[in-house]
Amino acid sequence: MTDGKFGAEEREAAKKLGISARFLRLLRSRGLSDREIPSFLHPSLDALTSPYDIRGMKEAAERVRRAVDRKEKILVFGDYDCDGICAISILMLALKGRADVDFFIPNRATDGYGMNIAALERIIAHRRPDLVITVDCGITAVKEAEYLKAQGIDLVVTDHHEPQDELPDCIVADAKIDRQGFSDLCGAGVALKLVAALFGKEYEKYLDICAIATIADVVPLVGDNRIIAYHGLRQCANSPRRGIKMLAGTEKLSSQDVMFRLAPRINAAGRLGSAMKAVGLFLDEDYFMLKSLAEELERDNARRQEICEQVVADAKRALKGIDFDTTRIIVLHDPTWEAGVLGIAAARLAEDFKCPAILFSGEGDEYKGSARSVKSVNIFELLSRHTELYTTFGGHAQAAGVGLKADNFAAFREALVRDVEESYPAGDFLPQEPAAQRLAADEDFLALAQELEMLEPTGYGNPKPEFVLEESGMRFERIGFGPHVKFTGKGLELMGFSRFSGLVGTTKGRTSFEFSLGVGCFRNRLYAQGILRSVTARTIDIADSDARMMCLHQLGRTGNGKVGRMTLEQARGFAARPFGTAFVVYSQAEYERLVADVPECAALPVSVGAQKWLNPASCVVFAPNGKFDFSYFKRVISAGRPLSGSYLPYIAESMCECFDLYGEEADPPLVSDGKVRAAFVAFDMMARRNEHARTPHDLAAAVRAQAKLTAEEYELARLILENLGLISVSDRGIITVSRQKTELSRSAYYVNARHVK
């Protein structure tokens, strides 16, 4: 990292703070002043806001204290997600031994979200409490408050969701009512504040539980939330609870561990059954009880993942053919979907399509739905415009739950689609260029990666920073025979997971690599490791031979879809639209011709081989790989010569319109029967000798040398042989050969190529 990149003021300010100028620039870009930086990097519990900043907290603490003094029966009523489970656990641990206290969590399938009178009737019949305390719910429980009041039972609501026009007639502590002090706490954060109001410093015992909820509930990791998460994760490392350690499988937890390992397992109980058992993770101490619980939650989570994948797959199929030019919000219903996974599935769709998503399940009179949004759309505010259609509703800016009568679903969807189109410009839903700092090849990547660890815990509101390196000539190698790739350069290792498999080889032209940066360790050697987020071609400089290799998969496609013709004038009109059009080219010369004939294409992003997202923002696709999914585009315009005459009809079958701009014939490669047989013999000899190839590159070199094949001949022969089931190569490079006789003409790759005997 050279000082010349930064001004004298930046270098001097960074020196005073004891950090690099690069890190200072990053912190300033997040709105932190130089005065705020030390307390942000080194959070202190003394900086937590007073619990009494929350309106109603004083009255809530007084009522709970009175119940404790009078030995009244207390019931803690919470939500069934990780936040609610953690909030219940905090209050149960704080009150245990001081009061006659029990808890209740509604069943998602039978009770739905939040308080309801049917559940309260069961509670009263089973164990009549004197005081009910809600955590992570209750702000909309107007009727339930009236019911409890009629029964002579007091209610204290502690919640963090957005209040509506009418509040429950009881003591309410919710920081979002008047937003005094810090108002972005999760439900467990409000419960922790109640414990602080009741018992002072004792709240520190429960920071670990609250940290898990804070990270899992995706509230901004700034202010009080950052302090709680920072010290809570340290507590997990220094004195981990047995249940947390057992479920996580590790003592030291990062925010990523909580988000992707711990929270999903805690959530799984409430999504697929009763969340009551999950509270035991924090309350129980018995080893065998906790081990059994951890195993059960693991099984629940595995089942939840399977169900969620199915919902996402169903939703993606339902979205094929949608016109995203006019529809910029996803609203879908399927009676077979499991209600407990709708929120996760909606979040996946919102991320993939860059727009809000609302998924509903249920059959009969009422549908239950979960909504997730993107940064540009406040989903709570959007949904609040149509409360007359709902039976239940609650949430906040990025997530909400809603119930409505089945008869209202069509009107609801039409209203939301119209509202989004009228209220938000199209640019809000276009994938954005990363707001990332640009790095140069001479950076001290390891020093920067080590410095970035001071940002932890990262998450919503304090995201893991992303950087952009713009280079050409970076060579990516496949990791073994799997789909992942890696670039190893001076001071930096860049990892690309499966969707970047097309990067194998040397990148030509100037390319932007967006990545997050961390510290890796191998054999006690520390190094800077980047994880690729996106790859964007700034200039295209790909040899025709390389482009043809990227397109060989086209020979395996067959289709009968209708392909139309299009004029240059029509193409220019579609290129000017923000959504719906993919221009496809197969060579450098074709791209240059397209930009000359359709100048609007020069401003479109270019995807080389791989698909960056499912959002159908208009773009140019250069040599799309075999996994590229065109079905969410309204139209695909081919501006060149594909390798197979079947490729465009195949695309046309994927529910989008397909056009040929220039009407040129396909340009298939030439394959020789003898070359295919020579390749088979080479593979067979390696299999007989039990030879293992270390990488696909090594395998290709060995077969090409023996069979005397060009790179294109080898790749096409391999595809034909694999297509016929005559060869296969395992992830470990083990070659398996079938010697059963078959005809080459059974392979689509062979049929669609030009061939000679």
- pLDDT, one tens digit per residue, over 245-282 is 888 877 678 888 898 889 888 988 877 767 888 899 99
> For the chain, how many residues are written?
757
Gap between the Cα atoms of 374 and 352, Å rounded: 11
% pLDDT > 90, the chain: 65
d(CA 46, CA 35): 17
Which secondary structure element, helix H or strand E, spans residue 346, and what is its range?
helix 342-353
The answer to whether residues 507 and 470 touch, using CB atoms and an 8 Å cutoff, is no
Comparing C-alpha atoms, which of 276, 263, 264 is closest to residue 229? Answer: 263
Q: What is the pLDDT of residue 432?
A: 74
Non-local CB neighbours of 42 within 8 Å, separated by 6+ positions: none
Q: Quick one: average pLDDT of 199-211?
A: 97
* pLDDT surpasses 80 at 481: no
Tell me the C-alpha distance between 224 and 228, whole Å.
6
Alpha-carbon gap, residue 91 to 101, rounded angstroms: 9
Q: Which residues of 12-23 are buried (b: 16+ CB within 10 A; e: fewer)?
A: ebbeeeebbbbb
* pLDDT value for 434: 59
pLDDT at site 757: 65
pLDDT at residue 1 greater than cutoff 50: no
Q: What is the pLDDT of residues 624-649, one digit of tens each?
A: 988 899 999 999 999 999 999 999 99
pLDDT for 645-699, tens place per residue? 999 999 999 878 999 999 999 999 999 999 999 999 999 999 999 888 778 888 9
Cβ contact 589:575 at 8 Å: no
What's the pLDDT score for residue 445?
93
Instruction: Supply φ then ψ for residue 533, to 5 degrees.
Output: -110, -40
* Residue indicated by tokens 């130089």: 34
- How many CB atoms sit inside 10 A of residue 723's CB? 17
Euclidean distance between the first and final Cα of the chain, in Å?
59
pLDDT in tens, 274-311: 788 889 999 988 889 999 999 999 898 899 899 999 99
* Phi (first) and psi of residue 485, to 5 degrees: -130, 165
pLDDT tens-digit readout, 49-81: 999 999 999 999 999 999 999 999 999 999 889
Ranges of H-type helices in 185-284:
187-199, 207-216, 223-238, 242-248, 255-257, 263-272, 280-283
